[in-house]
Structure 1
């Protein structure tokens, strides 16, 4: 783990402002020493996952961020919600206004996954 930046987490309200709050939190909590070049991508992906959590998952919505440090493990971001059902990657029409969140996570992250719990799920991604 990173010696420069401790892991951090925030519980977000289940409302339309949570994605913006998640981006702000990520800006304050990420490790600038190791991950300055991936902040824009991380903000996009956390915004997509939090929006999905609010729309489809339900409370509590929790965001965790940690740095893998000098070992190259990358910026690790996880979004938890109260729904145990996994996210679904959808094929959407070019003119569609939504439905691309999981596809963006899949395309832009180095790796990602879903962890299931009795109280919901956690969707995580890593950017190196």
Structure 2
């Protein structure tokens, strides 16, 4: 076996034709599994919570609910990207005390080391991402 090749590879990519609430649970498990395999089990819970919020935004705001999920382990950190083909950018907002939604991005901001939104080149859409230091 070649010792220069990392196992598992430091990336995992998933394309979903239509995100569903049921699929969120499975993707959380994938995040936990890969975090453990990449020797980052101590950040798995936070990563699961943050990816749940990003996927919930796809379900709520992207008309066709299609998305991609990319996990990247490099330089002592985990980066998770959720991409979609909807041009509208997410906006952090202040939810009122009685509102049932509207706190997701504020929570992602609080629990992750960094997060942001990048427009996808050459087509409508965006990638919402976060990073956690291992």
TM-score by length of 1: 0.85
Q: Which runs of 5+ in 2 are unaligned?
A: none
- 1:54-113: per-residue Cα shift (whole Å, max 9, x none)? 211244211111111xx33x0110001121111111111233221111111111111111
> Which residue number corresponds to residue 79 of structure 1?
82
Q: CA RMSD in A?
A: 1.9
SS in 1 for 2:51: helix
> Which residue number corresponds to residue 63 of structure 1?
69
Q: Which runs of 5+ in 1 are unaligned?
A: none
> Which residue number corresponds to residue 106 of structure 1?
109
> Which residue number corresponds to residue 8 of structure 1?
12
TM-score by length of 2: 0.82
- 1:24-74: per-residue Cα shift (whole Å, max 9, x none)? 221232244431111000000000000101211244211111111xx33x0
Larger Rg: 2
SS in 1 for 2:39: helix
List structure 1 runs of 4+ shifted beyond 6 angstroms: none
Q: Does structure 2 retain, via aligned residues, the 8 Å contact 1:5–1:67?
A: no
